[in-house]
Amino acid sequence: MKLSPRATLLIIASLVLFVIGFIFLRGPTPHITISPETLVTVGPIDVTNTMLTSWLVVLTMIAVVFIATRRWELVPRGAQNVVEAVVEAFYNLVINVAGEKNGRRFFPVVATIFFFVLAANWLSLLPVFNVIGGVQEEEHGFVMKDAGGLAYVPLSGPGGLSAPSIDEDDANHEEQYAKAKEEGKTVGELLPFLRGPNTDLNTTLALAIVSAIAVETWGITSLGIMSYGSKFFRPGTFFRGIARFNPAMVFQGIIDGFVGFLEFISECVRLLSFTARLFGNMFAGEVVILMFTFMTPLLITTFIFYPLELFVGVIQAFIFAMLTLVFGVMAVTHGDHSGESHAPEHAEEPVRHMQPSET
């Protein structure tokens, strides 16, 4: 089969990118840890790299909005037009799901979660993440070119197909360490200054807690604490059954109590699912990019995994925000689990008796 000139050119370009990336741009085998690295300790608080990145994400979002809207115009254009279009589209989505009244209440929290998670996911794809930081000196890890202060993960070069590094599992790691020290190099584990906030369980758990507090607050303020609390704790039927010596009512009260317990468990499980879903997807994406940057940085990482992570980043932000919105709508929905409706009168429709001809 004869290839077309375009296909031949594409194959040649792919091979060239593969060779250039493999020889010149590969980093050492990445050191992957689940827990974030502590940069500095202030009193009882450990300031981690994910915490620092979260602050930078917030500052970046503030700067973008300020720059886009510093010259507010009645007829938007340029950056202001883009910001307004994105916010308005998301606002209309929230209104369509929750209605006008509840949508206005839910929008600030839901939009904040969405745009923060999205910004954190996308900014974490910048090539300065996980490659620049300080060095925790030890007798294994990366060989840093800088003898002190700021360090970085060195790339490979034509003189060797891998960046200089020492593996503690290598039988000759002590000799390699001594040689590197003689050459005036700092050997140790890189503590990156910047790491994706959502690759830290603490960040995703904090977002899940904020979402849960917002949902419970909306439910209590809409239905009242007693009405909303009856979803979890309804002892009335059980005690009435005991007072009336009615076994069926007692049994119904036991069932109501068990259902309320399940409702409480489901509320707690949301925290776990929210936390694990976002953390798992973003941490896995970071690991994949680090590993393929080690192997084929220009070809597979740039043209496959970076676009994929851009898509995953917006999908995960959308899922987190939309689940918060849906659970908020469920929380403010009027209804009694015992079967008696408490829907507002304006939402009720008159019951129409069916005529024999309609059966």
Question: Each residue of 268-300: pLDDT tens digit?
Answer: 899 999 999 999 999 999 888 877 776 666 677
Look at residue 104 in the predicted model and tell me its pLDDT: 94
Question: What pLDDT, on the 0 to 100 scale, is given for residue 150?
Answer: 61
Query: Which of 11, 27, 8, 105 shows the shortest CA–CA distance to 296?
Result: 27
Mind spelling out the 3-state secondary structure of 74-111? Answer: CCCCCHHHHHHHHHHHHHHHHHHHHCHHHHHHHHHHHH
Computed over every residue of the chain, the mean pLDDT equals: 80
Question: Cα 359 from chain centroid?
Answer: 52
Domain ranges of the chain: 22-129+196-341, 131-193
Q: How confident is the model at residue 169 (pLDDT cuts 50, 70, 90)?
A: low
Best CA proximity match to 125, nearest among 295, 294, 308:
308
d(CA 90, CA 84): 10
8 A C-beta contact, residue 147 and residue 184: yes
pLDDT at 212 over 80: yes
Task: Find the mean pLDDT for residues 237-263.
Answer: 83
Token couple for 226 = 């007693």
Classify each residue of 80-116 as buried b or exposed e, where b means 16 or more C-beta atoms within 10 Å of its C-beta. Answer: beebeeeeeebeebbbebbeeebbebbbebbbebbbb
* Whether pLDDT at 313 is above 50: yes
- 183: DSSP letter: T
Q: Report pLDDT for 153.
A: 64
* Band (325; pLDDT cuts 50, 70, 90): very high
Between 13 and 336, residue with greater pLDDT = 13
Residue 347 has a pLDDT of 38
Of 25-34, 271-280, 301-310, the range with the lowest mean pLDDT is 25-34
Side-chain half-sphere of 158: how many Cα atoms within 13 Å?
A: 1
pLDDT band at residue 357, thresholds of 50, 70 and 90?
Answer: very low
